Structure 1
Amino acid sequence: MARVSQAHLDARRRQIMDGAAACFARNGFHATSMQDVLREVNLSAGAVYRYFRGKDELIGAIVMEVLDTLGKTFEVAARLSPPPPPDVLLGRAMDDVLRQGRGFPHLIVQVWTETLRNPELSAVMREGYEKVVEAWVGLVRAYQEAGMMRADLPADRVARTMIATAQGFAAQQALFGPLPVEVLEDGLRALMSMGAAQAGPAASDGA
């Protein structure tokens, strides 16, 4: 029997995860069965179960992949000198995630809901989330060391607020429809400008 290449195995695993994510985003975790996933990816049960033991393992793998991707993005950014400002970095990260498709905004809301009732998924989420927080704390410290951000506030609190901003934008996408990433970027730029002395239109109205 011919040996299957690692590239083939990786491509098949990617096919299964993408198909499952599309099903979950479209119909939710509970309304999606493994049979639905098999039909979506057009594979036999044996082919799918070679990679994943069941639906819960598939969900966990998808969640960890998204969190790992985000964590690595910010780890790389923290090593740059100076790192990209928050509006640019968060916009870039969100754009990268949304470009992957797979109904990410709907999927993340489904994950949050499932996490409340599934202890195993909750543990996976907590582990992945703490890794993301760690990466973002490193980024905040890089901002502080570069003089781009106040250094008298705990980096952990700033990092969690930045994460909440990205999560909130994803939730808006899921609940109210697509929004361009520029909305997030412009909103962050406006918040970042508070306290800065600027001669904008409001300052010139009384001239």
Structure 2
Amino acid sequence: MARVSPEHLEARRRQILDGAARCFARNGFHATSMQDVFAEAGLSAGAVYRYFKGKDELISAIAREAFDGIRGAFHEAAGMAVPPAPDVLLARVLRTFLEEEVPGGDRQAFARLIVQVWTETLRNDRLAAILNEGFQGMRQAWSQVVEAYRRSGILPVDVPADHVARTMMATAQGFIAQQALFGDVRVEMLEDGLRALMSMRLPETG
């Protein structure tokens, strides 16, 4: 029997996850059956179950991949001498994950998938643990970016790094929620809006 290469195994896993993501984004977790996933991925039940035992494992894998990818982008930025400004960095990451790597190319559907992951954590302890792990990792990654801003002298030190990190994460989450609910937002809007807020100068008083 010919040995299956790691590249083939990873390509098959990717095929399953992309098919599942399209199904979940289109119909929701609970309305999607494993038969739907088989059909979308173009694979037999045996081929899919070789990698994933069921929907919960698929959902968990999709969530973990998203967190790992986003966290990696921020860790990379934190290692730069001068990271990109928050508007540029946040837009770059969101553009990658909401435009360039969206299964099926439907940004609103993919944003809805992310929101579904958030709400599913209210009933799924395993997914809640993954979400919490991802959230803590994101806080750490953004805090490292903030510290890099401080080292370069472009950000004051009078506000805790974690406070800035949580604010930027909330900005990204709000953008994703708008995309999921209304579908009429573009990453350029967030980038422009953040840039405008960052350039505000309050009038002197007294």
TM-score (normalised: structure 2): 0.92
Q: Which amino acid aligns with 2:33?
A: S
Q: Deviations over 1:82-116 (max 9, x none)?
A: 11000110010010001211332111111111111
CA contact (8 A) 1:63 1:125 kept: yes
CA contact (8 A) 1:137 1:155 kept: yes
Is 1:65 aligned with 2:65? yes
Structure 1 or 2, whichever has the larger Rg, is 1
Q: Where in structure 2 are there 5+ consecutive unaligned residues?
A: 104-108
- For the residue of structure 2 that corresponds to 1:81, the secondary structure is coil
Distance between the aligned counterparts of 1:147 and 1:31, measured in 2? 51
CA contact (8 A) 1:133 1:160 kept: yes
1:20 aligns to what?
20
- For the residue of structure 2 that corresponds to 1:16, the secondary structure is helix
Distance between the aligned counterparts of 1:38 and 1:128, measured in 2? 28
Distance between the aligned counterparts of 1:100 and 1:44, measured in 2? 25
Q: Where in structure 1 are there 5+ consecutive unaligned residues?
A: 198-207
TM-score (normalised: structure 1): 0.92
Distance between the aligned counterparts of 1:36 and 1:129, measured in 2? 30
Within 5 Å, give how 1:88-127 maps onto structure 2: 88-98=88-98, 99-102=100-103, 103-127=109-133
2:195 aligns to what?
189
CA contact (8 A) 1:38 1:44 kept: yes
2:146 to 117, 140, 147: 140
CA contact (8 A) 1:77 1:139 kept: yes
RMSD of aligned alpha carbons: 1.2
Deviation at 1:184, TM superposition (A): 0.4
Distance between the aligned counterparts of 1:173 and 1:150, measured in 2? 32
CA contact (8 A) 1:97 1:104 kept: no
2:106 aligns to what?
none
Within 5 Å, give how 1:44-63 maps onto structure 2: 44-63=44-63
1:74 aligns to what?
74
1:129 aligns to what?
135
2:156 to 121, 130, 150: 150
Distance between the aligned counterparts of 2:184 and 2:61, measured in 1? 25
Deviation at 1:7, TM superposition (A): 0.6
Deviation at 1:196, TM superposition (A): 7.1
Distance between the aligned counterparts of 1:22 and 1:59, measured in 2? 12
Distance between the aligned counterparts of 1:180 and 1:129, measured in 2? 24
- For the residue of structure 2 that corresponds to 1:8, the secondary structure is helix
Aligned residues: 197
- For the residue of structure 2 that corresponds to 1:110, the secondary structure is helix
Distance between the aligned counterparts of 1:114 and 1:72, measured in 2? 24
Q: Deviations over 1:54-109 (max 9, x none)?
A: 11011010001011001000100011111100011001001000121133211111
CA contact (8 A) 1:34 1:54 kept: yes
